[in-house]
Each structure stands twice: as C-alpha cells, then as structure tokens.
C-alpha cells in the first residue's frame, strides 16, 4: 500500500510515488519541440513532484528548471537527476506566490495547477504566457471536475478542479496544438479511482 497524506509524506520513502515514467503530456512535448546542438530549449516544470518529467526532458536536451513546494520532492528530483547523469536546476517554491521572471521556451505542468485558487488563475496564466518565448509553448494538464466522478481518495483539500473548457479559455489568443479531455484510471494512494483530465499544448504566436 502506497502512502497517503501530504506530499512530503508521500515522497518520504525511496519509492517513487508517481513512478519514473513520463506523463502523456511530456511525450507530446517531445514530439513537438526538437532540441539541437545549437538550441537547448529552456523549460520550467511547475510542480515537478519527484522529477519524472523534469529528468525525462533533461535527458532529451532541454535546459530544465523544476519547481515544487515539497522539499522531499525537490530532493528526490535532484537524486533522480544525479542518478541519470543529467542536470536539473531546482526551485523550492509555492506556485501561489511564485512569479516567473525569466522567459522559457516551454512552460510545463502536470497535475498541479488545480492548487491555484480559481479567482487567481487569470493572473498566473497571464504571467506564464508573458514569460513564454516567441513561438514557445505552454504544455499543461489539469484535473477537471465531473459530477459523475467521485473525489479521488488521496486528493488534497486545497485542490480546486478546473471546469471543462476553462484551461482552453486562458489560451484563446494562442495557437492550440493539442487539447484533449479524458477520463483515466489511477491507483495512486493504493486505491483504484478515476480522474478527468484536460491536457493542452498551446503555442505563442511568433512575434518577430
């Protein structure tokens, strides 16, 4: 049985709570963005957890910054990066307070932005969009509220699921390269349950 409780508790053991396999959205990003010897795309992973996606990107030639509120998650990310021989810059921070100051080619996040309270999301997404390079992308997956799907057993109290179409609305003025809403089975916390997820990859229109 995997551990429940706070992310710090979940990440405390040697085992990787979310595994080491990259997320579906990460794999989609790799299909769209191609690092070269002269182009090392700068990527930030907001809510990196134990680093499964951050390390995957670093292994494929991205210059990766990984941010999470959980210190054990950050430590596991560093450890996983070291074990695989890649460099990942880590930031221990709270996305509710963190404003991007640098520009990134890819702003990436899976299963984390539902921690942003709905009334503050507009300003956070504007900050992410403003700090995306010309022709850069935002690749985001969020949990979506569905009346017929019970709350996940290990879902945090401070989580606010998105409504259907909400994520897309933040990218109305960008080119949408990929947008899917689907329901998947999950066994996190040791109990089988379902999630509805919306994955989106949107590109900032080239300005120069």
Ligand X SMILES: C[S@@+](CC[C@H](N)C(=O)[O-])C[C@H]1O[C@@H](n2cnc3c(N)ncnc32)[C@H](O)[C@@H]1O
Give residues in contact with ligand X (CB under 6 A): 7, 18, 23, 47-49, 52-53, 68-70, 73, 94-96, 110-112, 115
The CA–CA distances, whole Å, from 139 to 30, 77, 89, 104, 133 equal 11, 20, 19, 12, 13
Query: Where does the chain have alpha helices with state H?
Result: 7-10, 24-32, 52-59, 71-84, 118-130, 166-170
Taking the least distance from each CB to ligand X, the nearer of 136 and 189 is 189
- CB-nearest residue to ligand X: 49
What's the closest the beta carbon of residue 146 comes to ligand X, in angstroms? 17
- Beta strands across the sheet bearing 42-46: 88-92, 63-68, 42-46, 104-110, 132-143, 193-203, 175-186
Taking the least distance from each CB to ligand X, the nearer of 95 and 179 is 95
- Closest by CA position to 50, among listed 2, 4, 85, 88: 88
Taking the least distance from each CB to ligand X, the nearer of 53 and 132 is 53
Residue 130 CB-density burial (10 A; 0-12 exposed, 13-18 middle, 19+ buried): exposed
Taking the least distance from each CB to ligand X, the nearer of 15 and 175 is 15
What's the closest the beta carbon of residue 95 comes to ligand X, in angstroms? 4
What's the closest the beta carbon of residue 114 comes to ligand X, in angstroms? 9
What's the closest the beta carbon of residue 185 comes to ligand X, in angstroms? 15
Taking the least distance from each CB to ligand X, the nearer of 38 and 157 is 157
Residue appearing with tokens 């606010």:
160
Residue appearing with tokens 């040697």:
14
What's the closest the beta carbon of residue 49 comes to ligand X, in angstroms? 3
- Closest by CA position to 140, among listed 117, 120, 169: 169
């Amino acid at each position: 049985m995997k551990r429940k409780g706070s992310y710090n508790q979940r990440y405390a053991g040697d085992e990787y709570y979310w595994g080491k396999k990259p997320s579906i959205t990460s794999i989609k990003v790799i299909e769209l963005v191609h690092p070269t010897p002269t182009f090392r795309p700068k990527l930030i992973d907001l809510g990196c957890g134990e680093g499964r996606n951050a390390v995957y990107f670093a292994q494929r030639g991205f210059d990766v910054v990984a941010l999470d509120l959980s210190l054990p998650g950050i430590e596991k990310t560093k450890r996983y990066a070291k074990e695989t021989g890649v460099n990942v810059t880590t930031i221990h921070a709270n996305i509710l307070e963190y404003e991007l100051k640098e520009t990134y080619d890819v702003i990436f996040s899976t299963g984390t932005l539902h921690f942003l309270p709905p009334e503050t999301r507009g300003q956070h997404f504007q900050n992410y969009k403003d700090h995306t390079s010309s022709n850069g992308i935002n690749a985001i997956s969020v949990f979506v509220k569905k009346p017929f799907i019970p709350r996940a057993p290990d879902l945090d109290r401070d989580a606010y699921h998105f409504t259907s179409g909400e994520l897309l609305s933040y990218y109305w003025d960008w080119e949408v390269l990929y947008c899917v809403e689907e329901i998947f089975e999950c066994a996190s916390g040791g109990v089988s349950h379902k999630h509805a997820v919306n994955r989106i990859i949107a590109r900032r229109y080239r300005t120069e």
